[in-house]
Structure 1
Amino acid sequence: MLRRVVLDPVTRVEGHGVAEVFLDAAGEVAGARLAIGELRGFERICLGRPVEEMPRLTSRICGMCPAAHHVAAAKALDDLWEVDPSPAARNIRELAMCAQLIQSHLTHFYALALPDLMGQKWPVPERHLFRLMEELGPDLSRYILESRGYAGQLLSQLGGKGIHPEFALAGGVSRTLSTEEMYRVEALARSLVSFARFSLGFFKEQVLAGGNRISPETLGGEETHYLAMLSGDAPHLTEGELVLLDPGGREVERFGEAQYQARLVAEREPWSYAEFFYLTGPGGQRLAVQVGPLARVNAARYWATPLAQEAFAEMLAVLGPKPLRGTMAKHWARLVEALFAAERALELAHDYQPPAVPAPALPAGLPGSGLGVVEAPRGLLFHRYETDTAGLVTAARIITPTAVNQAAISQVMRAAAQQALAHGGEEAELAAEVETAIRSFDPCLSCATHIVRSPMTAVSLKRAGMDGSQGEMEGR
């Protein structure tokens, strides 16, 4: 009989999940899985509503990445009405995506991941945010909180508010920004460049060289393909081709946004409300893919801003050659991306030219369906809507990066558990290592569980003790 170690709930992630590690009679790891037990029905909520409401409605899916859902839905409306936003409108959308990425990545690094990264020398029960703030001291803690707030202020300047912004619509944006407003955006972006550079330096000094037990090679184990959006050979948050890499980091193919949904295969498990997605390869094979910061770093030939390119080269010099793997690589990749996003926001603000019209008049009639793909902080995000002749939504499909990453998360959980046992760790240490591995993906469990399918599976979660006592996770 398999013995289970259960983490209920997994902490320092967005949403509610339960992690299970299965040990065989010899004490070896037989399997691992992350069950997502919350249910949110956003795709059903969209049905019957006017399609132009989708950007505003779907931004409510998540409080951590609302701008990503907002812009993805707006891109789907662009496609549905067959209208092209002006360059200035596209730049405002990209600016908002940059602000969102900075806010999300730095929140994850300091509040969710850093207790793991700096806390390896602490007892497991002390690896939490309050212990971390004691270690950092009040002045540094205050600086981090204030600086992170600049990204929220930047998003508020662009979208009307820092959470659930309301600026993107079919064919463009709701309003132009004045010169004075762009000066404010530019000042905020400049402060964020400084904070992102500080964060990279802090990571290298306090984490990589800080005597922590997590080395750059550990907590890897994922043997997945990688998928990212590139403009040419550099990552882009809102426009480009989708680039598929094999587990060895070699480019397999490039394809357009329109092929993404057709290539994804969804599977259901009775123990989770989240769907599991696999990509159909060029030969028809089913591929486990990973999206997000590590996929973007592995796919990129270069970064389109100078400081981010310098940080990227330094990262490769330490962790390379590509493909990079492991927990440290994911965290380092987020900080490189935060620097890129801050630099790019500064460029966009400096070069901004207000459009004559924020958004064009929409043509009569509806083509019937539209899709939009963006690079959300956690990876590729897909929105697709179909409408009737009255413009009401008849079908909605939202595929989130956490759902796509499910297979990779399971692989890394298993590898982390094996590593903990190899180091002679007890079950508490095993659980801590598994949680660290899960958090390295920055999963958004609320985003992943927006769907209800019929017949619906009810998931019953009953906690098993950390001593391996028998619990249940049943689908019925």
Structure 2
Amino acid sequence: MAQNIVIDPVTRIEGHAKITIQLDEHGFVHDAHFHVTQVRGFEKFCEGRPFYEMPGLMARICGICPVSHLVASSKACDAIMAVSIPPVAENLRRLMNLAQILQSHALNAVHLSGPDLALGMDAPAAERNIFGLVEKHPGLAQDGISLRSVGQHIIETLGNKRVHPAWIVPGGVNSPLSAQQRDHILSLLPDALVKAQRLVDWFKSIMDSFSEEIRVFGNFPSLFMGLVDEEQNLEHYHGSLKVIDFQGKTLVPSLPVDRYGDYIAEAVEPWSYLKSPYFKAKGYPNGIYRVGPLARLNIVEGCGTRWADQELAVFKDMDQPVVSSSFHYHYARLIEMLFCIERMQQLLEEPDILDTHVRAYASANARRGIGVSEAPRGTLIHDYEVGPNGLIKSANLIIATGNNNLAMNQAVLQVAKRFVRGPDVTDGMLNRVEAVIRAYDPCLSCSTHALGKMPLEVTIVDSDGHPVRVCTNP
């Protein structure tokens, strides 16, 4: 008899989700889906609000990556104001966003995915968590926790709050950087770089133990998209969108962010509250693309910093013409951590970083504003329309995790087909299905713009669609 398996909740991710796996009468996986069960809402209740309130409102979408929403939202508001913000304000925004990417990547590397990688996919569930990691690998855990703390502390130093700082605003930032703040942040970076390098070395030392996971963890042809600068280098704040295919061919070399709608559309499926963006020219669902650290490193020519460029060369040598396995999101995140630390030092050493002209002022001078930034999990788009009084008429958000929705579903099916076999389904089998989702590091509160916590469920159903087993994490 066929079966349905439900994993509910999916654990060690941010947000509410479940996975359903459908087995045929022989116990083989027939189909699988990743369901996001939170309800969206932010876009609708922003209607009627003054545009200048949007950064503060949108930051509340998430407590892990609020700075990326502040950046994208403020850039959209800059466009509505039709102003060019002071150059130092751009760099200060970059600085805070890099600190956030550092802390978010450290969170995934140790707290969320670290237990799978350091303790093993088949480790007992009661031990496969951050507490088990601290017990078995205290040095590794301490490095990751410290790096997250450094990122959070830099955010707090700049914006007076670690979560939801009100420092990035339409027109620039609220206050300039002081010499004392600059010197304090600079003092944190050398030790942080050493710890990030240790995490990179650790990950490279364990990769051979995961050869089968590398082979099937979301390893499929897709497009890749992200921001690049004029030299095709890694960029998280400003630039143009670049899209390549799975053969490394550039499909869109330099897409102005205000034309994203010419290339990206969104589909809706009945089994998820998360929309599925796709590349228009390929159609739905063939227009599957990936964003985030893996995509960003695939599309760039370089990083522009010493240690990150050194690791980027190793990364690109792992596979040709692109690194396709989603397992290597983990490696890409660690490389970006190096980049964030090095790039923050570069920015802090800029001669004008203490300039006090940090904000431009204006009212609404345009009826539409689009802001794009690279969040930890990928490309983030905020698109606002306003009336003549500057009140929001409509808002559309394309969130990093949403961009990866089609890819995550493809990955769940691929991993389930390789590792799950009925009727006796083990915890290790199901953990691998969850682990491939963790590789993408989804932020489901962001993707559905909802408030809430994060449980996950896996359901196994028979070939007739009847639930046979439900696996729930408390």
Judge conservation of contact 2:5–2:468 (CA < 8 Å) in 1.
Answer: no
1:86 aligns with 2:70: no
- Work out the CA distance in 1 between the residues paired with 2:200 and 2:422: 29
Partner of 2:350: 351
Aligned 1:357-368 pairs, distance under 5 A: 357-362=357-362, 364-368=363-367
CA distance in 2, matches of 1:82, 1:385: 13
Q: How does 1:176-187 map to 2 (within 5 A)?
A: 176-187=176-187
- CA distance in 2 between counterparts of 1:465 and 1:434 reads 13
Residues 378-389 of structure 1: pairs in structure 2 closer than 5 A = 378-389=377-388
Could you tell me which runs of 5 or more consecutive residues in structure 1 were left unpaired when the two chains were aligned.
453-460
Match of 1:69 in 2: 69
TM-score by length of 1: 0.90
Structure 2 match to 1:296: 296
Q: 1:352 Cα shift?
A: 4.8
How far did 1:179 drift?
1.1
Q: What letter matches 1:136 in structure 2?
A: H
Query: What is the aligned counterpart of 2:228 among 204, 227, 230?
Result: 230
3-state secondary structure, aligned to 1:398: strand
Q: C-alpha separation between the residues in 1 aligned to 2:422 and 2:325?
A: 17
| Pair 1:263–1:2, CA change in 2 (3 A) | farther
Structure 2: runs of 5+ lacking an equivalent: none
1:390, distance to aligned residue in structure 2 (A): 1.8
Asked if residue 151 in structure 1 is aligned to residue 140 in structure 2, the reply is no
The answer on whether the counterparts of 1:219 and 1:326 sit within 8 Å (CA) in structure 2 is: yes
Q: Aligned partners of 1:315 and 1:135: how far apart in 2?
A: 28
Evaluate the alpha carbon distance shift between residue 128 and residue 443 of structure 1 in structure 2; reply closer, same or farther with a 3 A threshold. same
Identify the residue that residue 136 of structure 2 maps to in structure 1: 135
Give the aligned partner of residue 449 of structure 2. 450
Alignment of 1:455-470 (within 5 A): 464=459, 469-470=467-468
Q: RCO higher in 1 or 2 (8 Å CA, sep ≥ 6)? A: 2
- Secondary structure of 1:61 counterpart: coil
Aligned residue number for residue 328 of structure 1: 327
CA distance in 1, matches of 2:460, 2:289: 33
Looking at structure 1, the residues matched to 333 and 7 of structure 2 have their Cα atoms a distance apart, in angstroms, of: 26
Task: Name the SS of the counterpart of 1:217 in structure 2.
Answer: helix
Residue 360 of structure 1: how far off its partner (Å): 1.9
Superposed CA offset, 1:99-131 (max 9, x none) = 011000111010111111123264342322222
Q: Tell me what 1:316 maps to.
A: 316
How many Å separate the matches in 1 of 2:106 and 2:187? Answer: 19
Structure 1 stretch 352-361 or stretch 158-167: which is displaced more? 352-361
Alpha-carbon distance change, 17 to 400 in structure 1, aligned in 2, over 3 angstroms: same
Which residue identity does 2:179 align to in structure 1?
T
Q: 1:203 to 1:85 in 2, by over 3 A?
A: same
Task: Provide the C-alpha distance between the structure 1 equivalents of 2:432 and 2:118, rounded to a whole number of angstroms.
Answer: 13
- Residue 30 in 1 paired to residue 54 in 2? no
Q: After the TM superposition, which residues 27-426 of structure 1 pair with which residues of structure 2 at under 5 Å, given as runs?
A: 27-120=27-120, 122-125=122-125, 126-137=127-138, 140-205=140-205, 207-208=206-207, 211=209, 216-231=214-229, 232-254=231-253, 255-281=255-281, 287-317=287-317, 319-353=318-352, 354-362=354-362, 364-421=363-420, 426=425
Q: Which amino acid aligns with 2:399?
A: T
Deviation at 1:246, TM superposition (A): 1.1
Change in Cα spacing, 1:451 to 1:421, as seen in structure 2 (3 Å) is closer
Distance 1:247-1:312 versus aligned 2 partners, 3 A rule: same
Question: What amino acid is the match of 2:379?
Answer: L
How many residues align? The count is 459
- Does structure 2 retain, via aligned residues, the 8 Å contact 1:279–1:287? yes
